[in-house]
Homo-oligomer: A and B are copies of this chain.
Amino acid sequence: MKYKVITITREFGSGGRTIGRELADKLGYKFYDYELVKKAAEESGMAEEYVKDHGEDANGRSLLSFMWNNAGGSISDLLYIAQRKVINQLADEGNCVIVGRCADYILKDRDDVFNVFIYADEDFKEKRIVEKYGERPDSPKKRVEDKDKRRIAYYKYYTGRKWGDAKNYQLSINSGEVGVDKVVLTILNLL
């Protein structure tokens, strides 16, 4: 197959991680999400919990607050560099699906990478996060908004790119409209 790496950029609650895992299963590829966290933790010397919480979410809901908090280099930058190194190594090894962490941008100069963006309508995402992660004190609406804003700010800061710009991916698809299983089939057919 032409594509040795598949990256999944996803909105919180869109089912992107599930889609990535099923794709990896079907293709016999390795799946990197928490595994990548572990490797980045080893590479950076930071705690897994820290990497998990700060490896793709800004520590503030806006780009401006993230830039302000992050001014002059910071632990976040060191973590980004460690993750970038791990992601490049994983891509060199090949045959893997990588979820999140700006992998689409980090691997943009390779021609064996298929980049997918998964998103969904608000209702779908809010319902899904409650099913997956349970109730929390904050409303589902606030949880989705908050998480996505942090991800968008992080992505903008480290890539300079606009989140969800179709042209950064070979495929962008609304998983809420189409259904998670059909998204997996669609990607498999395209590969």
Contact = CB atoms under 8 A, between A and B. Distances in A.
Nearest to A190: B178
Contact residue range for chain A? 20 to 34
A171 B170 contact: no
Contact of A178 (B170, B172, B177): B170
Contact of A167 (B119, B167, B178, B186): B119
A118 B112 CA distance: 21
B166 A119 contact: yes
A131 interface: no
A170 B177 contact: yes
A80 interface: no
Interface in A159-181: 162, 164-167, 169-174, 177-178
A186 B164 CA distance: 20
26 contacts: A117-B166, A119-B166, A119-B167, A162-B162, A164-B165, A164-B166, A164-B167, A165-B165, A165-B166, A166-B169, A166-B172, A167-B174, A169-B174, A170-B174, A170-B177, A170-B178, A171-B171, A171-B173, A171-B178, A172-B172, A172-B173, A178-B190, A182-B189, A185-B189, A186-B190, A189-B189
Interface of A: 117, 119, 162, 164-167, 169-174, 177-178, 182, 185-186, 189-190
Given A117-B172, A166-B166, A186-B186, 9 more contacts: A117-B166, A119-B166, A119-B167, A162-B162, A169-B174, A170-B178, A171-B178, A182-B189, A186-B189
